[in-house]
A and B are shown apart, each in its own frame.
Chain A
Amino acid sequence: MTETVNLTIDGQEVSAEQGKTLLEVAREMGKNIPTICFHDATTANALCRICVVEVEGQRVLQPACIVKAGAGMKVQTRSEKVIRARRTILEMLASTMDLSEAAEIQQMMIEYGASSERFPDAERRESEVKDDNPMYIRDYSKCLLCWRCVQVCAEDAQYTFAINFDGRGFETQIGTFFDKAIPQTSCVMCGQCVGVCPTGALKPKREFLLEQGMSPSEISVMNTGRKQRKPR
């Protein structure tokens, strides 16, 4: 039988399986702890910090996605501190990148009363759309650096190692070896990075073209170099 631990989350006593994270336990209780970088298919890095919760006795807020439920823990998932941290992180995100296609984050912003205008005169991370291969486009203006694409490209799934990081700090961006176009990298076009991207920064090429207003037949011409054969 699996061992269990007893803890308190938002004043509610709960018995949790040993080894489960606070996020898992809270979700089982029906609580909504927001996450951005967390994904079931990737190793949790606890880097977005949007899932932070207050754990009594801890010096600083704790990321629920990796902190394991412990016996006697007293956890608050929506304290004033938690809300202040989440709101500020969301506001900084909105001042940094294009969240227009990140519906979940827009929802979080409403929930936490985060203003997208909070940081006036703030430098944004903007870049041109990279359209260098037939399968997907990369629009890093929309990238919030959740790392999932790099993770699935590497040890979390495909072991392809086509992408890594440019720069560091605020200037970080996802990049290839010496900024090579995707077809010149080890990319195998598996599409998993596109699948785990939460913001539309990575998008199937066809979806991108359709959004640009191209019709399916125009796209077909582009792909094959000839018109669709007319039905007889």
Chain B
Amino acid sequence: MSEIDLNPLKPAIESFIPLGRSGLMPALHAAQKIYGWLPEEVASEVAKSLRVPLADVHGVIEFYSLYYNEQVGQKFIRVCTDPACALKGADGLLKYLCKNYKVDAGQTTDDLSLTIEQSPCLGLCDQAPAALVDDDAETNISRNFRSYDIGIPQSLVYGSIRELTINCGEGTTTLAKYGEYSAYKKALSVNPEDIIAEIKASGLVGRGGAAFPTGIKWEGAAKASADQKYVICNADESEPGTFKDRVLLLDDPHRTIEGMCITAYAIGATKGYIYIRGEYPYIVPVLEEALNEARMAGYLGERFDIEIRVGAGAYICGEETALFESIEGKRGFPRVKPPFPTTHGVFGKPTVINNVETMCNVPLIIEKGFAEYRKIGTEKSPGPKLFCVSGDVAKPGVYEVPFGVTLRELLEMAGGVTGKKALQSVLFGGAAGAFATAEHLDVKMTFEDLRAVGLPLGSGVVMVFDETRDMRDVLQRLGHFFAHESCGKCYPCQMGTQRQMEILNRVAAGKTLPDDLIRLQDVGWTMTEASLCGLGQTAAGAVLSAMKLWPALFESEKPVLSKVKAIKVSRVSKVAKVEAKSAKKSATKKAVTKKSVKPAKAKAVKSKSKKTTASKSVKKR
């Protein structure tokens, strides 16, 4: 290990030193970019430079899935195996890769050329199955990788209105095309209080899942007195089935930036962060470029500026207080609330944190005025809404519709269930959501109507499963997801997600033990009622809803489905469609040959170290 050259490290992390501990994650990212992983000497040097205790640096590296304390392959392939990709054959792809390169998932080849890992949702569900190959999205992968798209993923945008997505669907909108920040200019001409009043009157509520009234949030932060306030855009979109923020940021970054500028003015903040998930590396340069354009145009600068922070593979960091901890250079543990972010946010200062889609609504409201804005949607749920439609539908993608559209109407827009099959269910709201069935097709998608039938709007996930799908397999994947993503802080979630996963594994295998149903209910109920944060409180939501809908699934032997045949049919049609579609795309299409990676023998697990890649894969599925 002594041959590690620390010389290139110093200039790479220099700019983060003044940030102190808050510079830890950017410094680790920079270090990993140089060495491919984080050897002890490198971690130690980062710790020394930033004056962070060694043990704390270790704790951070260990927490985030995308930091490696073991050498990994020069090429890193992460295959998503969460529900939307699984429907399109992700398991087969992973198996094929592993067989082809003679390496197990979670392991690195002997010659250190390749690491293959199973990944939680990559936010590419509308182009499933998908993988992340180093920093590129690999989408629409056909069987045995005969064809796929690679690079920046496409934005598939549909729906009945184009308010938030007006600039989406045709590549990145530059500032020249976006035009001046007219809403921001309009905002600057009135008092901050008037802006807050306007947002309150618009009825805008958070689009990240919690649906908290945005105006009230802003008001709280505006009233808090402090020498420094912050605006944060939560772009840690990691909810399985969610990909709308990816499209908004890739195609129209200035809308988010303008929204943040207006927020900053309204609450008196001078500093902003966009916290983007580590699995969206290809968005980062787009955002950087947009921020530079905004700086050149004078929208950002002394009055208010924005820094990008990149996550490192932790779903929990979408929880606002965990996100603050992450910006502060710590493990992403959620904090106890109260105090709330509006008074004690990042660095203990008043902070407004809003989801990307929420931020994108802000310029729209200011531009139109609240009265005009409220003409979209319903009385109690005003505005446009983005839905992330994936799974067994003909046309997956981001759908912009006014609140109040029914699930049936949305699915019709999406071309209905693939292969003329009947609808079995819809995972609604995300992994932390609940299942809807054909019974719910005519429910209007508004906060109030959905609440009445017990469906959470969540982050706008609509993942469709046809009649042939085995819901136990879906539940097992959700169980894995939460066990993998629990931060481990509070007991109900730390152990509950593990126990839930174990029982769901038995359910999926058709090998339940007596009383497993009651166990699952107790665990789910306890997580919901007693967990510290939103992750634990919703980690059983989908499972509990499935138990109500399909109790028999949890008790009987595994039924023999006509599943295999059905998948084959849809896969063939999918391949044909992909090939037709990809011709007109900007993303480069590659042949299946992977020259850069030679098949090599699987690397033996490095037994002397406790944390081998293989043992890590157990932790990370």
Residues of A within 8 A of B (CB): 36, 45-50, 52, 60-61, 63, 66, 81, 84-85, 88-89, 92-93, 95-96, 118-123, 144-145, 154, 161-172, 175-179, 185-186
A residues within 8 A CB of B485?
169
Q: Tell me the nearest residue of chain B to A128, going by C-beta.
A: B610
Q: Tell me the nearest residue of chain A to B55, going by C-beta.
A: A164
Knowing that A47-B491, A92-B496 touch, tell me 12 more A-B residue pairs with CB under 8 angstroms: A84-B526, A89-B495, A92-B491, A96-B495, A166-B58, A168-B314, A169-B497, A169-B619, A170-B488, A177-B40, A177-B57, A186-B54
Question: Chain A interface secondary structure, helix, strand, loop or mixed?
Answer: loop
Question: Chain B interface secondary structure, helix, strand, loop or mixed?
Answer: helix
A92-B491, A177-B58, A178-B40 are known contacts. Are A85 and B526 too (CB-CB below 8 A)? yes
- Going nearest first, the 9 A-B pairs with the smallest beta carbon separation are A161-B53, A164-B59, A172-B488, A170-B498, A177-B54, A169-B486, A164-B55, A92-B495, A88-B526
From B138-146, B529-537, B598-606, give the one contacting chain A: B529-537
B residues within 8 A CB of A177?
40, 43-44, 54-55, 57-58
Q: Tell me the nearest residue of chain B to A85, going by C-beta.
A: B530
**Which residues from 496 to 543 on chain B have a C-beta closer than 8 Å to any C-beta of chain A?**
496-499, 502, 506, 513, 519, 522-523, 525-526, 528-532, 537
B residues within 8 A CB of A175?
55, 58-59, 62
Give the bracket for the number of chain B residues in contact with chain A.
35 or more
Q: Are B55 and A162 in contact (CB-based, < 8 A)?
A: yes
B residues within 8 A CB of A50?
491
Q: How far is the CB of B436 from chain A (nearest CB, A)?
A: 22
Q: Are B56 and A178 in contact (CB-based, < 8 A)?
A: no
Question: Pick the contact of B58 from A60, A92, A178 — CB < 8 Å?
Answer: A178
Q: Are B40 and A92 in contact (CB-based, < 8 A)?
A: no
Question: Pick the contact of B69 from A89, A118, A171, A178 — CB < 8 Å?
Answer: A178
B residues within 8 A CB of A179?
609-611
**Which residues from 425 to 448 on chain B have a C-beta closer than 8 Å to any C-beta of chain A?**
none
Q: Are A171 and B619 in contact (CB-based, < 8 A)?
A: yes
Q: Are B54 and A185 in contact (CB-based, < 8 A)?
A: yes
B494 contacts the other chain (Cβ, under 8 Å)?
Answer: yes
A-B contact pairs, 27 of them (CB 8 A): A47-B490, A47-B491, A47-B532, A52-B529, A60-B529, A85-B526, A85-B529, A88-B525, A89-B530, A92-B523, A96-B498, A122-B502, A123-B498, A123-B502, A145-B494, A161-B55, A164-B62, A165-B59, A165-B488, A167-B62, A168-B486, A168-B619, A170-B486, A171-B488, A177-B40, A177-B44, A185-B54
B residues within 8 A CB of A85?
492, 525-526, 529-530
B63 contacts the other chain (Cβ, under 8 Å)?
Answer: yes
Question: Pick the contact of B519 from A118, A145, A164, A170 — CB < 8 Å?
Answer: A118
Q: Are B336 and A45 in contact (CB-based, < 8 A)?
A: yes
A residues within 8 A CB of B513?
120-121
B487 contacts the other chain (Cβ, under 8 Å)?
Answer: yes
Docked pose: A185 CA to B526 CA in angstroms? 38
Q: Are A93 and B495 in contact (CB-based, < 8 A)?
A: yes
Docked pose: A52 CA to B537 CA in angstroms? 14
Q: Are B56 and A52 in contact (CB-based, < 8 A)?
A: no
